[in-house]
Structure 1
Amino acid sequence: MSGYLKPLVVTLAVALLATLLLSTVGQSLWQSLVTDIIQQQRTLHRGLANAMMALSRRESAGDWLDLMALSMGYGVFHALGPGHGKAVVATYLLTHRAALTRGLIMTACAALLQGVVAIVMVTVLVLGFGWLTREAMASTAWVEKASFVAVTALGLWLMIRAGRGLQTLKAEVARRPSPADTMSPAALRLTPVQRSGASIMTPLHHVSNGPCHCGRVHHIDPMASGRHWREMTAAIFSIGLRPCSGAVMVLGVAAMLGFWWAGVLAVLAMSVGTALSTSLLAALTVLARARMAHLFQRADTRRPLGLGYILALLGGALITLLGIALLINAPDASLSPLMRGPL
């Protein structure tokens, strides 16, 4: 397959997959998958509660290992289910040039923040104010809405930042003289090409200011420079602000049984499991973006000026729409279906 066709085939395959997911069949399969995931999470909730009770009766090393292993496994499985955090991570990393290390740091910090928020909430509400675990779980709906507001604000900020970058880049290009005005005729010479025997005109000296079509980069890509720690921090905050329902449940049972620190360690183990799954998603996203960029580079397609800002603007718009949709469809403060039934 030629270098020109390979990027086109990959793009068409991605578009076909997206169309399939948005179709009626895709939506039906997705709803069935979500139902199965919720059922499995409910089963794991009961398993965590039983493991915590077994630890309170015997407190042996095997019971500790069972609780930690089950908590970590729950974190891995929980991260595989539907959630806005994975959508924010994937969109941000696909539309912003980021190294693999930065993507892993972002997902790990978001998973840890989810556990910390759950610990703080249950400590204040259950241990401090004497609330029941059910009441603390119902109160997470307000924290969830705050998380959706943070997602919307993150998307708007990314759009504003990308828009400003496009305006600045447009103004810089407008002030630059054309290459024909800055290059003297003596700066060109005939260079023979060995393969075809033809000759091409190549500049002896590249122009330091102004656009150059030689294929080399003469200025730093604004989107590639800097580390964008502010945007990453905002993404971590918007993802990690919503605590995991399983973490709240485990902490509530631990507080009821008098094994508070066992619940805290179990929640931290959940965060590790969640970080493992989300880090895999981040790694696949960064590598997919790098692979797509490599394919288009091999196809010798000329990158439009300001493409990084355009992608960032598109990513910000998608994150903004996601946050607005989640806010519109967010339920009121009520008991989660995962918490219904005996604990």
Structure 2
Amino acid sequence: MLQTLVEFQRTIYLALADQIKLLAAGGGWLAFFSFLPMGVVFGAAHALTPGHSKAVLATYLAGSDTKVSRGLLASIALSATHVTIAVLIAVLSLPLVSLALGSVGRAPLLEDVSRALLGVIGAWMVWRALGHGHSHKHEGEVVGFMAGLIPCPLTLFVMTFAISRGVPGAGILFALTMMVGVALTLSCVAVLSILFRERLVHLFDSRPRLFDLLSRGIEGVAGLVLAGVAVWQVTSN
């Protein structure tokens, strides 16, 4: 399955490279615009591969009391940040290269910041599960933003290639369509996570005390997972 997704992405990327080359050689924008919808497919398929903070998003939403609408906003915030950060790094690569970039397709500084912030969110969820604090209206979007600080490596490749050919606008346009595809996949993850949690707690809603314990237990475990993964990833680098 993973290999199929990788080959599928490679096929689209090679087609995109040809489109950018034609555009750089003086071709019209019409052909490139007609190719842009493939960016949605490209982004959706890419988001199915490992990474993209899917596990972080699912863990947070399964452990919080976020509703579907807020879960969708969280997934959109994650997708937008994930792709936008990559675009900004590519556009500002010269001044940032010594500060943020460690190897091709990665930004270790931003990755560590993102993981540290998610660790804080995890600790906050544990604290809340113990009976302290309460949910905030835009908490899900904040989590999405924090998780999205890890830049999309494929967007970096697309942007770098487009910039090297002198058509950065083409890279930005394709990145925007990729963002839509990534958001679609992550939105599915968000909805499934929330429906799973709601289905689980619904089994106990006739027993309020047990329901409360279960809700807090799920949130506490989710918080521990987020905090633990964040600590492990930061210390293992």
Fold shared per TM-score above 0.5:
yes
2:102–2:108 Cα contact (<8 Å) kept: no
Determine the structure 1 residue equivalent to 2:124. 157
Match of 2:198 among 266, 290, 300: 290
2:105–2:152 Cα contact (<8 Å) kept: no
**Distance apart, 1:246 and its partner CA:** 1.3
Q: Is residue 269 of structure 1 aligned with residue 212 of structure 2?
A: no
Match of 1:46 among 2, 10, 14: 14
Distance, in Å, in 2 between the alignment partners of 1:96 and 1:249 is 35
2:105–2:157 Cα contact (<8 Å) kept: no
Match of 1:146 among 113, 116, 131: 113
Aligned partner letter, 2:158: V
Determine the structure 2 residue equivalent to 1:303. 209
Distance, in Å, in 2 between the alignment partners of 1:247 and 1:37 is 16
Q: Is residue 111 of structure 1 aligned with residue 79 of structure 2?
A: yes
The change in CA–CA distance for 1:292 and 1:92 in structure 2 (over 3 A counts) is same
Q: Is residue 55 of structure 1 aligned with residue 36 of structure 2?
A: no
Deviations 1:296-337 (A, max 9, x none): 33xx4453255433322211001112223333455xxxxxxx
Match of 1:243 among 151, 155, 158: 151
Q: How does 1:1-343 map to 2 (within 5 A)?
A: 33-57=1-25, 58-66=27-35, 68-83=36-51, 85-126=53-94, 137=104, 140-165=107-132, 227-229=136-138, 231-297=139-205, 300-304=206-210, 305-330=212-237
Distance, in Å, in 2 between the alignment partners of 1:284 and 1:119 is 29
Deviations 1:158-214 (A, max 9, x none): 22333352xxxxxxxxxxxxxxxxxxxxxxxxxxxxxxxxxxxxxxxxxxxxxxxxx
Deviations 1:244-278 (A, max 9, x none): 11111111112112211121111111111100111
Deviations 1:119-145 (A, max 9, x none): 21112114x6799xx977355233223
SS state at 1:291 partner = helix
Aligned partner letter, 2:166: G
Deviations 1:73-127 (A, max 9, x none): 111011111126111111111111111100000101110111211121112114x
Which blocks of at least 5 consecutive residues in structure 2 are unaligned?
Answer: none
Aligned partner letter, 2:14: R
Deviations 1:5-33 (A, max 9, x none): xxxxxxxxxxxxxxxxxxxxxxxxxxxx5
**Distance apart, 1:147 and its partner CA:** 2.2
SS state at 1:87 partner = helix
Give identity over the alignment, percent.
26
**Distance apart, 1:48 and its partner CA:** 2.9
- Larger helix share, 1 or 2: 2
Distance, in Å, in 2 between the alignment partners of 1:34 and 1:135 is 26
RMSD in angstroms over aligned alpha carbons? 2.8
- TM-score, normalised relative to structure 1: 0.60
Distance, in Å, in 1 between the alignment partners of 2:207 and 2:128 is 26
- TM-score, normalised relative to structure 2: 0.84
Distance, in Å, in 1 between the alignment partners of 2:215 and 2:197 is 12
Distance, in Å, in 2 between the alignment partners of 1:96 and 1:260 is 40
Aligned partner letter, 2:111: E
Distance, in Å, in 1 between the alignment partners of 2:153 and 2:215 is 37
Distance, in Å, in 2 between the alignment partners of 1:282 and 1:139 is 25
Which blocks of at least 5 consecutive residues in structure 1 are unaligned?
Answer: 1-32, 166-221, 331-343
1:94–1:289 Cα contact (<8 Å) kept: yes
Distance, in Å, in 1 between the alignment partners of 2:232 and 2:4 is 24
The change in CA–CA distance for 1:280 and 1:138 in structure 2 (over 3 A counts) is closer
The change in CA–CA distance for 1:141 and 1:43 in structure 2 (over 3 A counts) is farther
The change in CA–CA distance for 1:159 and 1:121 in structure 2 (over 3 A counts) is same
